[in-house]
Structure 1
Amino acid sequence: MRIILLGPPGTGKGTQGRFITEKYNIPQISTGDILRENIYLKNKIGVIIKNILKKGKLVSDEIVCDLIKNRIKTTDCRNGFLLDGFPRSIQQAYYLSKNQIIIDYVLYFSMPEEDILERISGRRIHPPSGRCYHIKFNPPKINNEDDLTGDTLVIREDDKKEIIKKRLTEYQKITSPLIKYYLNQKLKGKLKFFTINAADSLLKIKNIIENILK
């Protein structure tokens, strides 16, 4: 089972991705997680990524593709995988095809921009573990503290509203051709494509996904 989750940042792809990986026992490959891991490690590529995101730009295809390619080579991806946030451009989709990586399902998460802004700006992160909270939808037990360690939570640089708006503008510009590409692949019978209303409740979305993948 090889699945792609598409949609702007803040539409809940990560949450539903974790549900899918647990239920179907396939690894979730999140470009966001891979990028943040490198930023946290403060390695050479992490410094480059951090500077790009601070400017509200998207990380280049070259960087992302190299990171994803290395991840897909690992043994836990042999029986399938879930790609969260990749591909995000038509060039990255061609990269998958060029490398003969077959995709079975594409799930596109759609949501109005104002709802995305509310969701993302309220996120709080525990950097060492990657645990994510939300001041409205998923608050920690103690304000601004990680539930397990008590560490102080942080707001990611790219979760600030002015940065989010820039990211959404770039996302729409770059990914519109990508959506059309996968809809065309669906018409050719090469994969199954579904649009999901990301503004629905988590439970409703979960049930929809279960019906799609059963």
Structure 2
Amino acid sequence: MRIVLLGAPFSGKDIQLEFIAARYGMVKISIGDLIRFEVESNSDIGNQLKALIESGRLISDELLIKLVQYRISLSDCNNGFLLENFPRTVLQAIAMDNAGISIDYIFEFDTPNNVIVERMNGRCFHPASGRKYHLKLNPPKVEGKDDVTDEALVMVNPMSESMLQQKMASYYLSAGPLAEHYIHQSKHRKIRYFKLDGARNAAEVSADLANILD
């Protein structure tokens, strides 16, 4: 299976990404991780990427597609893969099609802004280990203390409604047309497209995904 998950930050997408990867033994492919690996390896393509990043120029879709093509050619992707935060635009989706990178499923997580605000605010973490908590959704056993070490947690700065609106407007500028592109493809049976309610309990959403993919 080849799967793309669409959704704004804190839409519930990341939790389900982990669920699908674990349940079906699929590889998660992150463009950010691919870029970092190539840059650190000093490969030819890595040096190209490094030059672009250092000059502040955008990485071309052609170069990104080459990275994805190489990654999915490795044997650990034989059982399928999950693309994380890619494609982000219609042009990238078309470039993937032209490169012969087919996708079987698209899952879009539709989550209201007020739910996203609730999930974004109230976050805290343990600096030494990276353990994450949420004051409401995943609270520590003792307020303000790490469950394992009993050391103090650090709060993540909250985001205001206006800041979130700006962030979401930027996201939907590209995500809206991308979703429409895949919906159009699904009508021609080139792909299966599902929109899920990201505001629901994570276990309920996981159950829906399992019903579709099993």
* Shared fold (TM-score, shorter chain, > 0.5): yes
TM-score band w.r.t. shorter chain:
0.7 to 0.9
How far apart in 1 are the matches of 2:192 and 2:108? 11
Identity, in percent, stands at 35
Counterpart secondary structure, 1:18: helix
8 Å Cα contact 1:14-1:30 kept in structure 2 = no
8 Å Cα contact 2:3-2:82 kept in structure 1 = yes
Number of equivalences: 196
State the shift of 1:153 in Å.
4.6
TM-score scaled to structure 2, two decimals? Answer: 0.74
Query: Against the structure 1 CA distance between its residues 174 and 19, is the aligned structure 2 distance closer, same or farther, given a 3 Å change threshold?
Result: same
Query: Against the structure 1 CA distance between its residues 66 and 181, is the aligned structure 2 distance closer, same or farther, given a 3 Å change threshold?
Result: closer
State the shift of 1:7 in Å.
1.1
- 1:1-214 map, 5 Å: 1-30=1-30, 34=33, 62=60, 65=64, 69=68, 71-125=71-125, 132-143=132-143, 147=147, 152-153=153-154, 155=156, 160-161=159-160, 163-214=163-214
How far apart in 2 are the matches of 1:3 and 1:117? 27
TM-score scaled to structure 1, two decimals? Answer: 0.74
Counterpart secondary structure, 1:11: coil
Query: Against the structure 1 CA distance between its residues 27 and 144, is the aligned structure 2 distance closer, same or farther, given a 3 Å change threshold?
Result: farther
State the shift of 1:20 in Å.
0.6
Partner of 2:46: none
Partner of 1:56: none
Shifted more, 161-170 versus 97-106: the winner is 161-170
Partner of 1:55: none
8 Å Cα contact 2:122-2:136 kept in structure 1 = yes
Shifted more, 96-105 versus 117-126: the winner is 117-126
The unaligned stretches of length 5 or more in structure 1 are: 53-58
How far apart in 2 are the matches of 1:99 and 1:128? 43
How far apart in 2 are the matches of 1:172 and 1:180? 11
Counterpart secondary structure, 1:171: helix
State the shift of 1:9 in Å.
1.0
Once superposed, what is the RMSD of the aligned Cα atoms? 3.6
State the shift of 1:179 in Å.
0.7
Query: Against the structure 1 CA distance between its residues 61 and 114, is the aligned structure 2 distance closer, same or farther, given a 3 Å change threshold?
Result: farther
Query: Against the structure 1 CA distance between its residues 146 and 82, is the aligned structure 2 distance closer, same or farther, given a 3 Å change threshold?
Result: farther
Q: Deviations over 1:29-68 (max 9, x none)?
A: 345x739x89xx9xx96xx69xx9xxxxxx9564893796
Larger radius of gyration: 2
The unaligned stretches of length 5 or more in structure 2 are: 41-48
